[in-house]
């Protein structure tokens, strides 16, 4: 149960701070309106840092926050214990985090006329809609996340282990780099819970003039990251064992 609670609260924090910066940049009359891509990628880096710290403090020492990453690590370590609990917590936490963002920006939804902008504060959509290319982008981004994070904590890179408290910062910087380098194509979901949970929240919450939740695209930011996480887990298994 501790891992479930830790992943739930950690992922809620991830989405609160991550989607929070997106909402701040996109929604009308926010003081952060039009702050740009650098603000979004930096905010997401801090969101990952904060989410990992919260997850660990609340009982999830792996602090996955991401079903694709969790599956990749399970493949690497051949340990599927608690993965189902972790994924369930991540999904519920993502819905909770998106709900908190909705409440935090409550007056701004009405002032934002474009339904696509409102939806973008919840979930991802591609810059150019080409399903195969979008899927490949999500696979590559998630592979990079899972492989590099797995390598960071490996014996080959950190023979004595990563010093206490440093790991969350390293992963935050990694996600910042992924956002800057690889995020421009699809908005870098690289995490099924990060996209699907808030998309469900968008569908359920009374967002004024929200329009469609774009379920036609929803499979790509779920399946692409899962494939990327699995491939990275297998690659790590071959390279570092």
CATH number at residue 185: 1.20.1080.10
Tokens standing for 43? 């905010």
pLDDT surpassing 80 at residue 1: no
Give the span between the Cα atoms of 114 and 62, in whole angstroms: 39
Q: What is the pLDDT of residue 116?
A: 98
Q: Mean pLDDT across the stretch 140-160?
A: 95
**209 backbone φψ class: left, alpha, beta (φ>0; ψ -120 to 50):** left
For residues 58 and 6, is the Cβ–Cβ distance under 8 A?
Answer: yes
Q: Residue 152: which of 129, 169, 134, 132 has the closest Cα?
A: 169
Count of the separate structural domains present in the chain:
1
**Single pTM value for the model:** 0.98
Residue 164: predicted pLDDT: 83
Q: Which domain holds residue 125?
A: 2-239
Task: Provide the pLDDT for residue 172.
Answer: 99
pLDDT tens digits, one per residue of 202-238? 999 999 999 999 999 999 999 999 999 999 999 999 9
Residue 158 predicted with pLDDT over 90: no
Residues 6+ apart with CB under 8 A from 173: 45
Give the pLDDT score at 241.
79
- Of all residues in the chain, the percent with pLDDT exceeding 90 is 96
């Amino acid at each position: 149960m501790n891992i479930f609670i830790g992943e739930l609260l950690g992922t809620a924090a991830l989405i609160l701070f991550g989607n929070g910066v997106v909402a701040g940049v996109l929604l009308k009359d926010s003081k952060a309106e039009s702050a740009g891509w650098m603000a979004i990628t930096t905010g997401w880096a801090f969101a990952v840092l904060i989410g990992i710290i919260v997850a660990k403090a609340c009982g999830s020492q792996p602090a996955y926050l991401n079903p694709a990453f969790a599956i990749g690590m399970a493949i690497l370590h051949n340990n599927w214990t608690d993965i189902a609990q972790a994924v369930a917590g991540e999904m519920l936490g993502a819905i909770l985090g998106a709900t908190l963002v909705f409440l935090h920006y409550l007056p701004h939804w009405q002032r934002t006329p474009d339904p696509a902008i409102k939806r973008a504060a919840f979930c991802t959509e591609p810059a150019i809609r080409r399903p195969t290319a979008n899927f490949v982008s999500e696979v590559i981004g998630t592979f990079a996340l899972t492989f590099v994070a797995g390598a960071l904590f490996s014996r080959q890179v950190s023979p004595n282990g990563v010093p206490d408290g440093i790991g969350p910062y390293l992963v935050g910087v990694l996600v910042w780099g992924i956002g800057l380098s690889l995020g421009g194509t699809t908005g870098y979901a690289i995490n099924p819970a990060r996209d699907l949970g808030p998309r469900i929240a968008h569908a359920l919450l009374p967002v004024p003039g929200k329009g469609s939740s774009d379920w036609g695209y929803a499979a790509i930011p779920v399946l692409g990251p899962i494939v990327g996480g699995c491939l990275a887990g297998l690659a790590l298994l071959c390279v570092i064992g």
